Amino acid sequence: MNLPSPPRHIAIIMDGNGRWAQQRGWLRTKGHEQGSQSVRESLDACLEAGVEYLTLYAFSSENWKRPAFEVQGLMTLLEHYLNEKVHELKENGIRFQAIGRLEKLPPKVQQLLKKTTEATAGHSKLTLTLALNYGGRDEIVDAIKAIAQKVLREEIDLENITTDVVANHLYTAGMPDPDLFIRTSGEMRISNFLLWQLSYTEIYVTSKFWPDFKKADLLTAIEEYKKRERRFGKA
């Protein structure tokens, strides 16, 4: 008897950090700090379940509109995470990468992203991807521009542009599309996240805020995924 396979790729919108903190009378940045522990627990769950890819929506292109102190707090937290966790990622065989318009991030953050990516490049047990200054529409626009340039250079014929060609020009080129998409805090939106890649992804929404989302919660979501029948448009 074949047991149901775990998802190869899980994508998560880590929502509710600010509301979690405000309910406790704290600054929103405290929620982001606490949420970093949920990242650790999610990595543990993925390693235990045999998940190959975990993609986290860490900072959207729209998040720049948030209060300056919160944006600065998020960047500081990201710097701390990259500085403190690189050895832990390496010890657990985790490859790190980031996607988005990274050139718009603070120079120090860009340097740490590059350093962490290079330091973990040889690992393959699990790939952790942070979506930073990321927008799904921006990603598709950037892919169209890259393909158009190749058409102009006569490297690609217009008639030969397929869905595979588009996918290979997205930020996620070389990665499988997510099998399971999780959003915390109960919001029923995908919020400009992986618009192309989520076409046939199974969706799981929990009312828990991200800081309260623990290893057991992700394992529960994985078990729920295993019960789904994925038909991809077939009868």
**CA–CA distance, 232 with 235 (Å, rounded to integer):** 9
Q: Residue 39 has what pLDDT? A: 97
Q: What is the mean pLDDT of residues 156-179?
A: 98
pLDDT at residue 187 is higher than 60: yes
Among residues of the chain, what percentage have pLDDT more than 90?
Answer: 95
What contacts 232, CB < 8 A, 6 or more positions away?
200
Delimit the domains of the chain by residue range: 9-136+177-226
Indicate the average pLDDT of the chain: 96
Q: What is the pTM of this model?
A: 0.96
Strands 126-134 and 53-60: parallel
Residue type, 160: N
CATH superfamily of 9-136+177-226: Decaprenyl diphosphate synthase-like (3.40.1180.10)
Size of the chain, expressed as the number of residues it contains = 235
Owner of token pair 């899980």: 10
Q: Please identify every residue annotated as catalytic.
A: 15, 63
Predicted local distance difference test score (pLDDT) of residue 235: 62
Query: Between the CA atoms of 148, 135, 113 and 46, what dihedral angle is there, to the nearest 10 degrees?
Result: -110
